[in-house]
Structure formats: C-alpha cells, structure tokens
Chain A
Amino acid sequence: MPVAIDLSAPGGVALALLPEILLTVWACVLLLLAAWQHRDPDAHRRIGGLALVGLVAALVVMVWFWKSGTRPAGLPLMIALDTFRYAGAIVFLIGAILTVLLSLRYLGRERIAVPEYYALLLFAVIGMLLMGGAADLIVLFLGLETMSLAVYVLAGIKRRSGTSAEAALKYFLLGAFASGFLLYGIALIYGATGTTNLTVIAFQLSDGGLQDSALLSIGVALLLVGFGFKVAAVPFHMWVPDVYDGAPTPISGFMAAAVKAAGFAALIRIMVTALGESTAVWQGAVWWLAVITMLIGNLIALAQRRLKRMLAYSSIGHAGYLLVAVTSGTPAGASAFLFYALVYTLMTIGAFGLLAALGRDGESEVLIDDLSGLAAGRPWISFAMAVFMLSLLGFPGTAGFIGKWYILSAAIGTGQWLLAVILVLGSVVSAGYYLPVIMNMYMREPVERRPDLSASVDLVGAARGVVATAVVLLILLGVWPNRVLDLAVDGSRDLRAPALVTGTSP
C-alpha cells in the first residue's frame, strides 16, 4: 500500500525523517551512557551492542519505507522521499553495521576502548543519510558536515598514537578546505538560479537560458572541487593514503566504503536530479576526473609494498570507476552506482577487517610480502583474502565483476566508449597489485618473518562473522545478482525530477 507523506505538515516531516530522528536520539542516549560508564572497561562493548540495535532499527524503517512505496504528496522541499534515498541509506547502514561488528573486539585489543566511538559512528551515519536523502543543497551541506565532523574525530580516536592524530589533522584540514569550496559553489548556484532546491534548479535550467551563465559554471566547478576532495578523486587525493594509513583500521574501511559512497550518492543526486538536463555544464569535467583518477590511482598502487597503503590507493582507483557511473548522468548510471556501492562496501570492509586481524598497532606495518605462505597455515583466511582481491579486481564469478560490468554498460549506453576502454585498462593495471597478494599467499614458501602472521591471526567472534558474510555475499552476488540488480534499478527510478519529464508544473 503506497503511503503519501504530506511534507507541509510538521507531523509529515517528522515521519519522513523518522530514521534520522531515531538515530539522533539513540546517539545522544549512547553519548550519555558513555559519559556515565566511562570508568567501566567493558562499557564500550555494551555500547557497541546498543549502537547495533539503533542501526538495525533505522535499517528496518528504511526497508519499510521502500516496501510500502512511501512518496511525498507534492514537491519534496528539503528531504527526498524516493527509492534512491532508501537504497543509498541501506548501503550506508550495512557499512556501518559491519564496521561496528569489526570494532567490537578491535577497540579492546588496540587499547582504544572509548565508548564515544560508537556514538560518533552513529552521528556519521546520520550525516550520510541526510546526504543521500537531500532534496536541497543546504540539507546536503549540513549532512556532509555532520558526517565529516564525526569522521574527523574517529580518524584521530587513538589519542596515544602520533600517527592517528596526524591522520585526523590532515583529514580535518583538507576536509574543511573542501567544505569551503563546496559552500562557495552552492552560494554561486543559488545566485545563478535563485534557489537551492534540486528540483527547482532543474526547472530553472530547463528553459536553457542559464546554460552559459558564468555564475552557474563557476559554481558547479567549485562544487566539483569540493566533492573531488571528499570522494578522493585525483588530483584532490593527496590526503587519502596518509589518512587511511594513520586511522584505526575499521575506520579506514568505513571511510573507504561508506563515507565515499555517501559522497557519491550526494554527487549523483545533484548531477542527475538538478543538472541531469544540462550535462554540458559538468560532463566534460567529470569525464577528465574519472580518467585521471582511474589511471593515477591504479598506477601509484602498483608501487606500494604495505598492504594498508595499497588498499588506500586501490580505493582511489575505485573512486575513478564510480566517477564513470556519475559521468553517464542517467538513472542507469545511478543504479550501477548503487549496486557497485553495495559490493564495494562488502569487499572493502572485508579486506580491512582481515587486515585488522593480521596486524597490530594500526596495521600499517603489514607488508604484502609478509603474506607469503599464509595459505599453508591459514587456508580459510587466505581464501577470504583471495575472494576480496579477486572481487576488487573485477574477476568473473565475483560480485566485483558484475558491478564493473554494469558501470561499463551505463557508460556505453551514453556513448562514452573511450571511458569504458580506460576503465578496462585501469582494471588490467590493478591486476598488477591485487594478484601479487594472492600469489604470495598461495605460491610462495613462508619466509622467516619477524612477526609470524599465521600464528598471530586474530579473527574471532563478530569479526569472523563479518568476513564470512562478506565472502559468501560476494560469491553469491557474483553468480546470482538478478534480485539485487532489480532492486538497484528500482532504486534510481524517481531520480530524474518527475515534473519535468511529464511537462506538468511542479
């Protein structure tokens, strides 16, 4: 039964924002509990469990919204009620749930048992939900800042470590710098179109009079610079390896997967909903961003010897693949993004989870060569790592292949042949650093190592469940993706402003 929510009444707005309100209240409760039980060494596990409850509740509400076909009665003014919001939110929430599960043991082991960790994680997720569901540039900006502020702190949560503090500082300075660009871009777009509402911007642009407005072009360019920093596109990627390296490993995975997906969800919403009919303003710029991000990200990753930095550079390469989906500027590109975001969340958080199990003290010292001969001692761990690497590479039979395939077909659907060729080329280059991991594990004799990895692997309890679930889902989605693909297509159904397509006034 479709539910229409009247967004002009306060009750309607509260209902539309139910998951966000739920999580906000829950995060505040957790913060109070954290302050209350600060001396209890086991408090962080209890609060982590409670955080899971909140995340699952928000997930249930989002699924219910999607199932019941909730839509706005009229124009969405501030918050969108469409399938793209629900689908994006489900991806972010899955990423956050996996991160919490990975952190439960990790925090105790690394002696960063601060219960506020989980409250900050919830605040970051609230920001992401607002970014994916924004129907107005200002809601988008506020969501982005809510997310970023929480993640700055999470990157530096290991207060005793100098590298963690340095990661937080670098992330903060460049993140705030990017916000400045983004905000100035929003100001100029507001000046050019007279509104910050995405649907109304599309309506203003539809008569074609604003196509060569300098204000609009500069505004969109500044917006792209801001998003370029946030989603780690080359040449705005300098912070990524340092920050992912210095942050606690579950947080690195969270930043690589969910934070990046939220940035892309917001970017796609602006590009498809507001600027979908005026591609001339932005398509060329995003095309170049995608090309250099794919090439440079993958090429620098080849030179990395440490696993954590290699994963960081590989995440830059993947930002390039997602930019290809953005470049198409069509709902097909948006559904390719949704599917890839889910797959990428599973494989990235899985890979970082394994890295957290292999290393100690921030895990930045695990070399790829250290993995040699791991398969003899720990066959299942090696198998899981091999599945993650093959899926990141886009090997047929894994979900990563299907995801890349749909990005390719979205690019070809809009005639971007060259971009598709460069994507394939980038994937070929990426084999040069994903395959050595597998070769080291399976084909080389164990060398004398300072820390004996196969003896010290620490993968128990919830973290083992996360890795196992990710492996099973990646293989399952690789051979039987239809159901999830249908959902991804449904997820971008109402992305184009409907009033404009049918020609009726909004």
Chain B
Amino acid sequence: MLLGPALGVSAILFSLGVAGVLLRRNVIIIFMCIELMLNAANLAFVAFAQQLGPEGQVIVFFVMAVAAAEAAVGLAIILAIFRHRQTVDLGDINLLRG
C-alpha cells in the first residue's frame, strides 16, 4: 500500500537534505538538512516495513534516538564555535585551510 509514493517522497526529502548541506552556508540550516536526510531514511524504513514486517519500524526508533544524541552533541559544538567566532556562517569559519 502506497509503497511507491512513500519511497518517492522519501527520495525527494533525501535529495533536498543533500542539496541543502551542499548549498547552504549557515551551520544550523546545514544541521537541519542532515536531520532531513535521517528522516527520509526513516520514511523509507517505515514504507518497507509494511511488507517486510515490524523490524523496519523498530529500526526507526533506534534512528530517532541516534538523531537526538547527534543533535545534543552537534548543537553543543555549534555553541562552542559561536563563542569563539560570534558567527555560524561556514564562510567565516576558516582558521584551518587545506
């Protein structure tokens, strides 16, 4: 039921997330786009779980926990960089150059 459309939406969400990470310069927005990628994967898991049994739905809970932990660490790191540079724009964060 609705496997095709659900996968389509999930693919669109994932692509939006990837495009956002690559194109935007604001760290917070990049971080939100990464969360969008994880949620696209969640949607795919739930869509497949309709046919393949509850395992896919269980995985979604693990991923949500991981995303929450990642948000905690990520926001702390963004806060640390803001204290040093007074900015969250990647263009201005350039002490290390390769």
Which residues in chain A, 223-274, are within 8 Å of chain B measured between CB atoms? 238, 241-242, 245-246
Cβ of B96 and Cβ of A194 under 8 Å apart?
no
Chain A residue nearest to B71 in the complex (CB):
A176
User: Residues of B contacting A186 with CB < 8 Å?
Assistant: 41
Closest to A159 in B: B80
Q: B13: shortest Cβ distance to chain A, in Å?
A: 10
Contacts of B45 in A (CB 8 A): 187, 190
A245 CB to closest chain B CB, in angstroms? 6
- Give A181's nearest chain B residue, CB to CB: B37
Task: Verify if A145 is at the interface (C-beta below 8 Å from B).
Answer: yes
Instruction: Check A187 against B17 for contact (C-beta < 8 Å).
Output: no
Q: Are A165 and B84 neighbours in the complex by a CB distance under 8 Å?
A: yes
User: Does A170 belong to the interface (CB within 8 Å)?
Assistant: yes
Shortest CB distance A219–B (Å): 10
**For A162, A163, A183, A188, which residue has the most chain B Cβ atoms within 10 angstroms?**
A183
> Which residue of B14, B59, B62 has the most chain A CB atoms within 10 A of its CB atom?
B59
**Contacts A166-B81, A172-B73, A184-B37 known; A177 to B98 CB distance under 8 Å?**
no
Residue of A nearest to B78 (CB): A169
Shortest CB distance A308–B (Å): 11
Would you call B62 and A179 a contact (CB within 8 A)?
A: no
Chain B interface size, as a band, is 35 or more
How far apart are A86's CB and chain B's nearest CB, in angstroms?
Answer: 25
The number of residues on chain A lying at the interface, defined by a beta carbon within 8 Å of a beta carbon of chain B, is 40
Interface string of A96-131 (1 = CB under 8 A from B): 000000000000000000000000000000000000
CB atoms of B55 and A196 under 8 A apart: yes
Report A-chain residues with C-beta under 8 Å of the C-beta of B30. 173
Bits for B20-38, please: 1 = Cβ < 8 Å to A, else 0: 0100000100110010011
Q: Which residue of B lies closest to A149 (CB)?
A: B73
| A245-B96 in contact given A162-B84, A172-B77, A196-B55 (Cβ < 8 Å) | yes
Inter-chain contacts of A163 with B (CB < 8 A): 95-96
Whether A172 and B96, one on each chain, are in contact in the complex, defined by CB atoms closer than 8 angstroms, is no
A56 at the interface (CB under 8 A from B): no
- Bound together, the chains give a CA A348 to CA B73 distance in angstroms of 28
Q: A156: which B residues are within 8 A, CB to CB?
A: 77, 80
Which of A149, A153, A169, A246 has the most C-beta atoms of chain B within 10 angstroms of its own C-beta?
A169
Given contacts A191-B52, A242-B97, 14 further A-B contacts (CB under 8 A): A152-B73, A152-B74, A166-B93, A169-B93, A173-B31, A179-B38, A180-B14, A183-B37, A184-B37, A191-B44, A195-B55, A238-B98, A241-B96, A246-B96
Can you list the 8 inter-chain pairs with the closest CB atoms, starting with the nearest? A180-B37, A242-B96, A187-B44, A191-B48, A183-B41, A162-B84, A184-B41, A165-B80
Measured CB to CB, the residues of B under 8 A from A are 7, 14, 17-18, 21, 27, 30-31, 34, 37-38, 40-41, 44-45, 47-48, 52, 55-56, 59, 62-63, 66, 69-70, 73-74, 76-78, 80-81, 83-85, 93, 95-98
In the complex, 29 of the A-B residue pairs with CB atoms within 8 angstroms, ordered by the A residue number, are A141-B62, A142-B62, A145-B69, A149-B73, A153-B73, A162-B84, A162-B85, A163-B96, A168-B80, A169-B77, A169-B80, A169-B81, A170-B96, A172-B74, A177-B34, A179-B66, A180-B34, A183-B37, A186-B41, A190-B45, A190-B48, A190-B52, A190-B55, A190-B56, A191-B47, A238-B98, A241-B96, A242-B96, A245-B96
